[in-house]
């Protein structure tokens, strides 16, 4: 029995599920290159660095990052400390 069976949460709904770069890019509707660029610049979603070549994203961090991008108008810069990516 794996973790998701034990807690009765389907993998696709688990907020702590680790997604690959490809899965994260698909989830957000962007390219892998965009994720890589944001990661390098420090203005993308939080990520988990498993090793130098293995990067994962928690679903909850992708949702949190998206929620931080919500604006009410085109002139809304996101308030103090908002990043401009």
Of 71, 51, 47, the closest CA to residue 59 belongs to: 47
What number of CA atoms fall less than 13 Å from residue 60's CA on the CB side? 5
> 20-32, pLDDT tens digit by residue?
999 999 999 999 9
**57, 45 contact by CB (below 8 A):** yes
**DSSP character for 53?**
S
Of 28, 16, 22, 40, the closest CA to residue 66 belongs to: 28
pLDDT of residue 13: 74
Residue with tokens 């085109």: 74
> 42-73, pLDDT tens digit by residue?
999 999 999 999 999 999 999 999 999 999 99
Enumerate the domain spans of the chain: 20-67
């Amino acid at each position: 029995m794996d973790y998701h069976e034990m807690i009765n949460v389907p993998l696709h709904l688990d907020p702590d599920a680790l997604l690959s770069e490809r899965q994260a890019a698909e989830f957000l509707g962007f390219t892998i290159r965009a994720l890589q660029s944001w990661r390098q610049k420090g203005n993308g979603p939080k990520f988990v660095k498993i090793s130098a070549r293995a990067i994962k994203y928690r679903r909850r961090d992708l949702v949190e990052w998206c929620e931080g991008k919500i604006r009410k108008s085109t002139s809304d810069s996101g308030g103090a400390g908002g990043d401009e990516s």
